[in-house]
Amino acid sequence: MTAEAAEWMEEEVKVQECRYKGIVEEIDALEPQREQWTEDFLNIIQTKGFNVTGDQRRKIPKKDIPKKPDRPDALRVIW
Amino acid sequence: MTRPHIEPFVELNESYKPFKIPGFIGAHYKVLSLDVDTGACSLKVRFDGGFKRKPGMSYSDMELFVLEGGMLVDKEYYGEGHYLFLPAGMAMGAIEVPQGCEAIVMYNDSEPTYEESDAHHQLALKESYVSLNSYEDAPWAGGSIVSPSVATGCMLKLLHFDPLTEAMTFLYCMTPQFMQDNISYHDCAEESYHIWGTSWMLQFGDLPTGGYFWRPPYINHGSFRSKLGCIALGRTDSKLHNYFHFNPWTNPDENRSRAAATLYRQKPQLFKWVNAGGHNHPHGPQGQLEHPTPPADFEHPDYTDNAQVKILNEQEYTFHEMDHLHGNYDPDAAHAKAHTHGHAHDHGEGSDHEH
């Protein structure tokens, strides 16, 4: 790797780390909306159905609807 | 690590920076994502009017997609929608930019490199070269070329396909009011740049024009919506399989385990062979097969009780039962070749031994 490329990499890795942190903050701030979107989704798959493949839908019975787990990463969407 | 999870990133809010790497001086760039180990990267690049570069090659595969304006490459005009896959070592003709051009440029193996040359490197895989105008010269296909498939209204144009890894580069679009009510993940990393329009995903909200993501494997995304439609450039780094489900709270470890469970059910012989480290024979102190532990599947926790799954996983194929019927079969040579590993085992016909 040339010296110019090494310098470029070093600088851009730092920029990307900052960007990643910014994305995590931005996406975490969507949490209240995401809770609502999740609730809407779980309703839709019980009424209109879940897309199994293509346009084939299957209605999911209430007893099979997943429950939010009690663990630290339950709400995490950026990994 | 390779590239982190960058999703969403709207590059239109960022400024261009001047390139300082030889071969790119005079161009400006924004990094969309960067592999921190290898320097492989996806960039948006602005070539101002008057930019020129002599013929040259890179030691990395390179992909280019023209978003705005155009450039002359060896006097051939690459206008909006032009897609180029240039394998490592293949020389690219002289570049001349008459009036300015913006493009997505991806270096897949290393940081951007350039070496002046008008000849191809002797090891360049020239047959994988692709150059076409994706807007004019490629048809839209239904998304069902992958199964399980996306819903009707998501279409794609395949631009590049790697026969070894099944990595793909493609244009895709969603029609207005597109909707797909499932959550998806893949075994591959997935990347997208929104050329125009907005799509929405349950986890990340809206991805507008200029929106970008690099998403590592096994990360939940979806359900999906696009109110007014969108068109985007997409890529995967290996085979794309849609694992659909409806649990919004699973993590990548659970998703990967479920993917392995799918392999256990759908390709049991391959699963066993891989799990055995490639030893194509029964294992265990008495020569019996030690069945691999079935991976956990959050969606079907009791899948191993299913009769068909049981049958498939209890089947044994050694592929040697009929060897004696093959005229040219040499059991000693086959034996020597098959067992280069070092541990005791039983062949099941009273010939226990150690290698």
pLDDT in tens, B263-299: 999 999 888 888 877 555 545 444 445 566 888 899 8
Both structure tokens of B197? 């329009």
Q: Is residue B204 part of a domain?
A: yes
- Percent share of chain B, pLDDT over 70: 83
pLDDT in tens, B332-347: 654 554 444 444 444 4
Instruction: Answer whether B150 sits within 8 Å of A7, measured CB to CB.
Output: no
Q: Is residue B316 part of a domain?
A: yes
Find the CATH number of the domain harbouring B103. 2.60.120.10
Q: Which residues from chain A sit within 8 angstroms of residue B244, using beta carbons?
A: 50-53
Query: Distance (Å, rounded) from C-alpha B148 to C-alpha B299?
Result: 16
Q: Is residue A36 part of a domain?
A: yes
End-of-domain residue from the set B105, B132, B159? B132
Contacts of B116 (CB under 8 A, 6+ apart): B23, B54, B55, B56
Same domain, B147 and B127: no
Instruction: Answer whether B246 sits within 8 Å of A37, measured CB to CB.
Output: no
8 A C-beta contact, residue B128 and residue B87 = yes
Q: Is residue A41 part of a domain?
A: yes
Q: Is residue B250 part of a domain?
A: no
**Smallest Cβ distance to B249: which of A1, A9, A66?**
A66
Q: How far is B94 from chain A, CA to nearest CA, in Å?
A: 22
Both structure tokens of B284? 């265990």
Query: Distance (Å, rounded) from C-alpha B73 to C-alpha B53?
Result: 10
What is the enclosing helix (H) or strand (E) of B44? Answer: strand B41-47
pLDDT in tens, A32-54: 999 999 999 999 999 999 999 99
Instruction: Answer whether A33 sits within 8 Å of B223, measured CB to CB.
Output: no
Q: Is residue B349 part of a domain?
A: no
Same domain, B55 and B110: yes
Q: Is residue B351 part of a domain?
A: no
Query: Hey, which residues does B165 pair with through a beta bridge?
Result: none
Region B166-189: what's the mean pLDDT? 97
Same domain, B119 and B199: no
Q: Nearest-5° angle of CA B107, CA B16, CA B208? A: 80
The single-letter DSSP state of residue B60 is: S
Whether A38 has its CB under 8 Å from any CB of chain B: the answer is yes
pLDDT for B42 beyond 90:
yes
Same domain, B283 and B219: no
The domain in which residue A57 lies consists of 20-64
Query: Distance (Å, rounded) from C-alpha A9 to C-alpha A1?
Result: 10
By CA distance, what is B6's nearest residue in A?
A20
Q: Is residue A43 part of a domain?
A: yes
Whether A22 has its CB under 8 Å from any CB of chain B: the answer is no
Same domain, B10 and B127: yes
Instruction: Answer whether A51 sits within 8 Å of B251, measured CB to CB.
Output: no
Residue A48: per-residue pLDDT? 98
**Smallest Cβ distance to A5: which of B39, B182, B252?**
B39
Domains held by chain B: number? 3
Contacts of B205 (CB under 8 A, 6+ apart): A30, A33, A34, B8
Domains held by chain A: number? 1
Query: Distance (Å, rounded) from C-alpha B212 to C-alpha B217?
Result: 16
The domain in which residue B166 lies consists of 141-245
* Coil, helix or strand at residue B74: coil
Region B52-79: what's the mean pLDDT? 97
Q: Is residue A38 part of a domain?
A: yes
Instruction: Answer whether A20 sits within 8 Å of B5, measured CB to CB.
Output: yes
Q: Is residue A73 part of a domain?
A: no
8 A C-beta contact, residue B115 and residue B55 = no
Whether A33 has its CB under 8 Å from any CB of chain B: the answer is yes
Q: Is residue B251 part of a domain?
A: no
Q: Is residue A33 part of a domain?
A: yes
Q: Which residues from chain B sit within 8 angstroms of residue A30, using beta carbons?
A: 204-205
A42: alpha, beta or left, given left = phi > 0 and alpha = psi -120 to 50?
Answer: alpha
End-of-domain residue from the set B132, B149, B176? B132
Residue B126: per-residue pLDDT? 94
Same domain, B149 and B185: yes
Same domain, B88 and B154: no
How far CA B231 is from CA of B33, B157, B201, B208, B236, in Å, comes to 20, 11, 15, 10, 17
Contacts of B324 (CB under 8 A, 6+ apart): none
Instruction: Answer whether A54 sits within 8 Å of B148, measured CB to CB.
Output: yes
Instruction: Answer whether A45 sits within 8 Å of B181, measured CB to CB.
Output: yes
Q: Hey, which bits of B162-275 come out as E strands?
A: 168-174, 178-180, 183-185, 190-197, 199-201, 205-207, 211-215, 224-226, 230-236, 243-245
Same domain, B99 and B171: no
Query: Distance (Å, rounded) from C-alpha A14 to C-alpha B20?
Result: 17
